[in-house]
Amino acid sequence: MAQATFEEISASDFFYRNRDIAGFTNPSRAIFAAIRELVENSLDATESQKIPPDIYVRLSFEGEASKDTQIYKLRVEDNGSGIQPRFIPSAFGQVLYGSKYKLKQTRGTFGLGGKMAVLYGQIMTHQPAYVTSSTGLAKVYSFKLMIDIQRNRPVILERKVLINKEQWRGTIVEFTLEGDYLRAKSKILEYFKQTAMVNPYANLTFVDPKGRLYKFTRVTTDMPDPPKETEPHPYGVDVELLQRLIQVTPYRNMSEFLKQHFHRVGDITAQKFLEFSGLSPSKNPKRLSHEEVVRLMQNLKKFKEFLPPDASCLSPLGEGLLKAGIMKELKPEYLVVNQRKPSTYAGHPFIIEMGIAYGGEIPRKGGFIIYRFANKIPLLYDEASDVSFRVINSMNWRRYKVSPDMPIAIVVHICSTKVPYKTVGKEFISDRPEVRREVANALREIARQLHRFLSKREHVDREKRRLSIFAKYLPKIAQFSSSLAGKEKLPDVKKLIKSVQKYEKEA
Amino acid sequence: MRKKLKSSVAEKKNEVLGSLKSLGTNVYDQLDSGYFPSISMPSRSTENINYDPHLRQFILGDKSVRRSARNIRHVKPFTQLVWAARFSHELASQRKTSTLRDVYYSAQAYAMTFKDQQESNNIITDLETVLGFSREDFNIFPEERSAVFGDLTIEYTVPGYEGRTLNLTSHPDGVLIGPALTSSEFVSTTANKVIAIEKGGLFTRFIEENVHKKFNAVLVLTAGQAPRATRHFIRRLHKEMDLPVYIFTDGDPWGMHIAMVIISGSANAAHLRELNTPDAKWSGVWATDIINYKLPTDPLDDVDIKRLYELQRDPRYKEDPLWQKEIKTFLKIKRKAEQEAFSRYGLTYIVDEYLPTKLEENT
């Protein structure tokens, strides 16, 4: 009888085996995911320093791989914060590097950033990745790396140190990967366009394998404040997180433990909570039994007196920037945006921002065009499953005199320390009542304003038409009646036309 | 030979021109005094159309409507009306004629596009209503034409033909009842009756069989429902030349109604007078003729029967018991027959046998 063997696998190995989860499902999706991961890394790196991003992406053809796929070299340059040299190998050569005991609004969908992209490239082409970075100080560091998949360790093949004569700051990543650009092209271009829409302060440049240049230019250098790190809110913790906190905490009593590791817990709240859960304030958290930890977690969720999470850690776009971005990419005739007040779901703060754009260069598609964003990244797949899609489609649009065959685009942006994605695919937002309510409220507000705009315009149009009818026919009546009556002089109808003019300025 | 009766043709021309001009003056004066011009006219809505037993035709009641250039919905039709008046004045004063179709296209030269033919026809009807003259008086004729044949001498009044006379037997196909004939004076006739016929085939047969001589008749082809010009023409033959009028149509509700419109006019022309001939007689083909002459027939279909019930309720059909009797007979036998049905007895039977009998019956 054969004996079953169990072996431990590394995180790299795990993702190698389950690359579907991270979005590297097929050759066209993989190339899209690689670009997206690196661009989002770059955006985060620039935004954290409030530097208006300049991101350059080049995808070049290296050779045929199979019947449907090709080998490409992907190069992404940014002007972000740069990475300190000692972190570079781990940042790109070790999956799940870094510890997360704090929460922060970030773009990265999986926290894998470029690592997964590099890993995928290595798997498919067996080529090393090149990472060059500088924090703007005296030196530029350049690494040639591979990942030891089984041990989940970076392997440094080459390390160069250069003098940073031009005081350059930023990061350049270059590696080869296999993919299908032709099929990915439309999604990639859509991705850039939509990214430009919610990052109106960014310059994005993309050169595709055919040498075509796509440029998205910034319209402002105003940037939102970078997101701040925050402690987890008591409502949002699970046993796993609690246990990890207990392991790393330097605090030796429950009162300090609660105050230091949780969001919006002060002396009084901590005291009340400990009374509520029957724990001694002086108890050492490391001495809690497993059952006590579970009970603690349950009580954290039950206790009603925690203050709601504070949204100051969030970095929404703001109405001004959202407006600028939509204006720049969609060029509508009319645009209104609305930012909701912060709200929470399950202990996580979130903010909904929405915009509705009408006319101009927006095409008529026979239905609303919906642009969805989460933490400033576009969501391009599974639109019909998204909560906003449902809210938009269940709205009684007739009340707002809006019909789906009008040229209308609706933009939804949710930002949160934890975006409520429904599935591991992380392409759509789940239908949580708190989120649904905020989306619906924002939508109603912008729909009301669109309605106001449409009815005012219709009114002005009707008035213009009315006036033009009088202006057209009264002179004719004058002409025909004069000739019929045999009169030389035409009667003056200007006064009559003026008398039917209701709105002096608009007409 | 009868004595020449001077008709009102020339006089009427002046009257029409005058009324067109005064419409223009009216509108002009209102505009010139700084008002939005308006025009009142009798309403042509169904509830304002009444049957007048005395005149034996439909007339318009007292309700009137006001078209004002101040009203956004009226200003376009108002302009079209003034344009139509001006166009008609030009036609009439230059003694030119036009058709309804022509009116529709002429408007476009003045950037006065009509939505469709119906819209332009309606405006002409408005003009008729405002002034109380029919469109033929404005020299606007419909496309459909009917014909006349028989010993009637007329004198033209149209430009280039003034004073020339014509005897209406001079062309064996008959003479078109067009603008020139409509505007001519009647000089003389030896005929002592008018026979109006619905269909061209029978009209030609009657000419070939010398019906005009044998029966001393002026033959008029109505070509289906008689155009207004033809109805007016028949009326003039009756009034000015004192001729009794006999109408022969198919033996079905539609033929019956062709006769009725000649006799009592139509609801559509309730705003007009002098288009009908109340003393004219419907001489056949009757439902009872179908039985008496054993004519080959077709069954009445659903629309025929529906039409019969409509006619039964129509006030015009309540005047003379003949109508009600024939309607009832049609409904009873549920058959209809065309004029050509007499051909089963030979080509000349209708002239030799049927016609004398029917004319006898009617007098």
Q: Sort out which chain A residues have CB atoms less than 8 A from B74's CB and list them.
A: none
The verdict on A280 and A190 lying in the same domain is no
Let me know if residue A387 belongs to a domain: yes
Cβ proximity of B52 and B31 under 8 Å:
no
**Exactly one of B28, B51, B104, B105 is catalytic; which is it?**
B105
The verdict on A444 and A468 lying in the same domain is no
d(CA A419, CA A314): 11
Let me know if residue A101 belongs to a domain: yes
Cβ proximity of A196 and A325 under 8 Å:
yes
Nearest residue on chain A to B72, judged by CA atoms? A466
Residue carrying structure tokens 């970075």: A133
Q: Sort out which chain A residues have CB atoms less than 8 A from B28's CB and list them.
A: 478, 481-482, 484-485, 487, 491
Interface with chain B: mutation pick from A474, A484, A492, A499, highest number of B CBs within 10 Å: A484
- Two tokens at A49? 């320093």
Cβ proximity of A422 and A382 under 8 Å:
no
Q: What is the DSSP letter of A384?
A: G
Higher pLDDT, B68 or A111: B68
Interface with chain B: mutation pick from A472, A480, A497, highest number of B CBs within 10 Å: A480
Q: Cα–Cα distances in Å, from B350 out to A483, B285, B287, B357?
A: 57, 11, 16, 10
A496, pLDDT greater than 50: yes
d(CA A451, CA A401): 6
The verdict on A46 and A130 lying in the same domain is yes
Let me know if residue A225 belongs to a domain: no
The verdict on A404 and A381 lying in the same domain is yes
- A462–chain B nearest CA distance, Å: 11
- B161–chain A nearest CA distance, Å: 28
Q: What is the mean pLDDT of residues A483-488?
A: 89
In DSSP notation, A273-342 reads HHHHHT--TT--GGG--HHHHHHHHHHHHH-TTSPPPPGGG-----HHHHHHHHHHHH--SEEEEEEPPP
Higher pLDDT, A213 or B96: A213
Q: What is the 3-state secondary structure (H, E, C) of B262-318?
A: HHHCCHHHCCCCCCCCCCCEEEECCHHHHHHCCCCCEECCHHHHHHHHHHHHCHHHH
How many structural domains is chain A composed of?
4
The verdict on A386 and A437 lying in the same domain is yes
Let me know if residue A3 belongs to a domain: no
A506, pLDDT greater than 50: no
Q: What is the mean pLDDT of residues A314-324?
A: 93
The verdict on A183 and A65 lying in the same domain is yes
**B131 CB near a chain A CB, below 8 Å?**
no
Say how many residues make up chain B.
Answer: 363
Q: A483–B34: do the CB atoms touch at under 8 Å?
A: no
Residue type for position A208 = D
Q: What is the mean pLDDT of residues A362-382?
A: 92
Q: Sort out which chain A residues have CB atoms less than 8 A from B24's CB and list them.
A: 480-486
Q: B82–A481: do the CB atoms touch at under 8 Å?
A: yes
d(CA B5, CA B20): 28
Confidence of residue A68 (pLDDT cuts 50, 70, 90): confident
Q: B86–A495: do the CB atoms touch at under 8 Å?
A: no
Confidence at residue A7, expressed as pLDDT on a 0 to 100 scale:
65
Q: Cα–Cα distances in Å, from A492 out to A111, A137, B15, B21, B160?
A: 77, 81, 30, 20, 41
Let me know if residue A365 belongs to a domain: yes
Percentage of chain A exceeding pLDDT 90: 50
Cβ proximity of A117 and A41 under 8 Å:
no
Q: How many Cβ atoms from other residues are within 10 Å of residue A319's Cβ?
A: 14
Confidence at residue A53, expressed as pLDDT on a 0 to 100 scale:
96
Q: B110–A485: do the CB atoms touch at under 8 Å?
A: no
Q: Express each pLDDT in A387-422 by its tens digit.
A: 999 999 999 999 999 998 999 999 999 999 888 888
Q: Which residues of chain B have pLDDT under 50?
A: 1-6
Domain of A477 in residue numbering reads as 454-499
- A465–chain B nearest CA distance, Å: 10
The verdict on A159 and A286 lying in the same domain is no
Which residue blocks in chain B are alpha helix, DSSP H? 9-32, 75-93, 100-106, 117-131, 179-182, 200-208, 211-214, 228-241, 253-264, 287-292, 302-313, 321-333, 349, 355-362
Cβ proximity of B334 and B346 under 8 Å:
no
Q: B28–A482: do the CB atoms touch at under 8 Å?
A: yes
Higher pLDDT, A29 or B11: A29
Q: What is the mean pLDDT of residues A16-39?
A: 82
Q: B25–A466: do the CB atoms touch at under 8 Å?
A: no
Say how many CB pairs under 8 Å bridge A and B: 76
Omega of the bond prior to B285 within 30 degrees of 0, cis?
yes
- Two tokens at A63? 């050779």
Let me know if residue A506 belongs to a domain: no
Q: What is the DSSP letter of A2?
A: P
Confidence at residue A360, expressed as pLDDT on a 0 to 100 scale:
94
Q: What is the mean pLDDT of residues A183-211?
A: 95
Confidence at residue B39, expressed as pLDDT on a 0 to 100 scale:
92
d(CA B279, CA A269): 110
Q: Cα–Cα distances in Å, from A23 out to A16, A37, A419?
A: 12, 10, 17
The verdict on A423 and A491 lying in the same domain is no
d(CA B70, CA B242): 50
Q: How many Cβ atoms from other residues are within 10 Å of residue B139's Cβ?
A: 25
End-to-end CA distance of chain A: 93
Q: Sort out which chain A residues have CB atoms less than 8 A from B78's CB and list them.
A: 473, 477
Phi-psi region of A120 (alpha: psi -120 to 50; beta: other; left: phi over 0): alpha
Q: Sort out which chain B residues have CB atoms less than 8 A from A477's CB and list them.
A: 27, 31, 37, 69, 75, 78-79, 82
Q: B31–A491: do the CB atoms touch at under 8 Å?
A: yes
Q: Sort out which chain A residues have CB atoms less than 8 A from B32's CB and list them.
A: 491
Nearest alpha carbon to residue B156 among B119, B183, B176, B118: B183
Which CATH number fits the domain that encloses residue A429? 3.30.230.10
The verdict on A144 and A164 lying in the same domain is yes
Cβ proximity of A438 and A413 under 8 Å:
no
Q: A473–B23: do the CB atoms touch at under 8 Å?
A: no
Confidence at residue A112, expressed as pLDDT on a 0 to 100 scale:
62
Q: A484–B82: do the CB atoms touch at under 8 Å?
A: yes
- A468–chain B nearest CA distance, Å: 10
In DSSP notation, A161-224 reads EEE-TT--EEEEEEEEEEE-HHHHHHHHHHHHHHHHHH-TT-EEEEE-TT--EEEE--S----P
Confidence of residue A499 (pLDDT cuts 50, 70, 90): confident
Confidence of residue A450 (pLDDT cuts 50, 70, 90): very high
Give the side-chain half-sphere CA count within 13 A for B232: 23
A1, pLDDT greater than 50: no
Burial of A268 (0-12, 13-18, 19+ CB in 10 A): exposed
Confidence at residue A364, expressed as pLDDT on a 0 to 100 scale:
92
Interface with chain B: mutation pick from A473, A497, A498, highest number of B CBs within 10 Å: A473
Q: Which among A185, A216, A247 is the end of a domain?
A: A216
Q: Is the domain defined by B9-141 classed in CATH 3.40.50.300?
A: no
d(CA A264, CA A271): 13
Confidence at residue B3, expressed as pLDDT on a 0 to 100 scale:
38
The verdict on A331 and A269 lying in the same domain is no
Give the side-chain half-sphere CA count within 13 A for B31: 29
| Chain A residues within 8 angstroms (CB to CB) of chain B | 466, 469-470, 473-474, 476-478, 480-487, 491, 493, 495-496, 500
The per-residue pLDDT of chain A, averaged, comes to 88
The verdict on A458 and A447 lying in the same domain is no
Confidence at residue B104, expressed as pLDDT on a 0 to 100 scale:
86
- B81–chain A nearest CA distance, Å: 9
Interface with chain A: mutation pick from B83, B114, B123, B131, highest number of A CBs within 10 Å: B83
Q: What is the mean pLDDT of residues A183-206?
A: 96
Confidence at residue A96, expressed as pLDDT on a 0 to 100 scale:
58
Closest CB from B20, B72, B82 relative to A477: B82
Q: Which among A281, A302, A323 is the end of a domain?
A: A302
- A457–chain B nearest CA distance, Å: 20
Q: B83–A476: do the CB atoms touch at under 8 Å?
A: yes
Closest CB from B24, B36, B69 relative to A485: B24
Q: Sort out which chain B residues have CB atoms less than 8 A from A478's CB and list them.
A: 28, 31
In DSSP notation, A8-66 reads ---HHHHHHHTTTTTT--SHHHHHHHHHHHHHHHHHHHHHTTTPPPEEEEEEEEEEE-S
Confidence of residue A247 (pLDDT cuts 50, 70, 90): confident
Rounded to a whole number of angstroms, the CA Rg of chain A reads: 29
Nearest residue on chain A to B38, judged by CA atoms? A477
CA-CA-CA-CA dihedral for A212, A217, A223, A228, to nearest 10: 0
- A480–chain B nearest CA distance, Å: 6
d(CA B99, CA B142): 5
CATH top-level class for B147-362? alpha beta
Nearest alpha carbon to residue A162 among A185, A132, A189, A184: A132
pTM of the model: 0.65
Let me know if residue A229 belongs to a domain: no
Q: Cα–Cα distances in Å, from A55 out to A52, A191, A225?
A: 10, 14, 19
Q: What is the mean pLDDT of residues A465-477?
A: 91
Which CATH number fits the domain that encloses residue A285? 1.10.8.50
Confidence of residue A241 (pLDDT cuts 50, 70, 90): confident
The verdict on A432 and A323 lying in the same domain is yes
Nearest alpha carbon to residue B245 among B208, B220, B264: B220
Q: What is the mean pLDDT of residues A87-110?
A: 67
Lowest-confidence pick of A128-132, A315-319, B9-13, B326-330:
B9-13
Active site residue B105: yes
Percentage of chain A exceeding pLDDT 70: 93
Let me know if residue A1 belongs to a domain: no
The residue ranges of every structural domain in chain B are: 9-141, 147-362
